[in-house]
Copies of this chain bind each other. A is one copy, B any other.
Amino acid sequence: MTEKESSIINSAISLFAQDGYDGTSTLSIAKKAGVSEGLIFKHFKNKRGLVEKLIEISEEKLEDMISPLKELSHPKVILKYILSIPLNIGQQEKKLFTVIYSIRWQINDKRLDLLKLFEPKILESFKALNHNDPISETRTFLMILEGTFLYVLKNDSQDSLLIFDNLLEKFNL
């Protein structure tokens, strides 16, 4: 990946997060990236191709967040870790996930439901805890996880910790 290519990606993330996919012109991305408009199409074929790239990156980012789970064995620790993820994302990831969230309303693509990646691990954990309805509990857990993500993306929250403790309690973690 050349320097210009990654400059385009970063500009796209910022602008998509700020103004939405449709609200961002390829020209504005090019300008912000200090690059000619044509180059975007050379590298990504489409404006849509840019989104594809962002989805890929998001998936990789999330995979990275999931991978430490392999070394954890206790289900409560696993669930705690998952719940902590939205509270620990950095500024650039925040923008990236904001893009993914906003795009979900405009583009139909299963891959945009990023949190689905956590489902197996969560279900497995609740089963290990002998929860009496692990499937429902998983669904609720995911739902709340999504609420937490949304909250973090929308608010510059410093009160994350309070929310976190509160959630742990509700899931007996």
A26 interfacial by beta-carbon distance below 8 Å: no
Interface residues of A in 106-144 (CB under 8 A from B): 106, 133, 136-137, 139-140, 143-144
Point out residues on A near B: beta carbons under 8 Å.
Answer: 19-23, 98, 101-102, 105-106, 133, 136-137, 139-140, 143-148, 150-151, 159, 162-163, 166-167, 170-171
Q: How many copies does the complex hold?
A: 4
Residues in B neighbouring A21, C-beta threshold 8 A: 22
A-B contact pairs, 22 of them (CB 8 A): A20-B22, A20-B105, A21-B22, A22-B22, A22-B23, A23-B106, A102-B105, A105-B105, A133-B166, A136-B159, A136-B166, A139-B151, A139-B159, A139-B162, A140-B166, A143-B151, A145-B147, A146-B151, A147-B147, A147-B148, A147-B150, A170-B170
6 tightest CB-CB pairs across the interface, nearest first? Answer: A147-B147, A22-B22, A102-B105, A170-B170, A20-B106, A143-B147
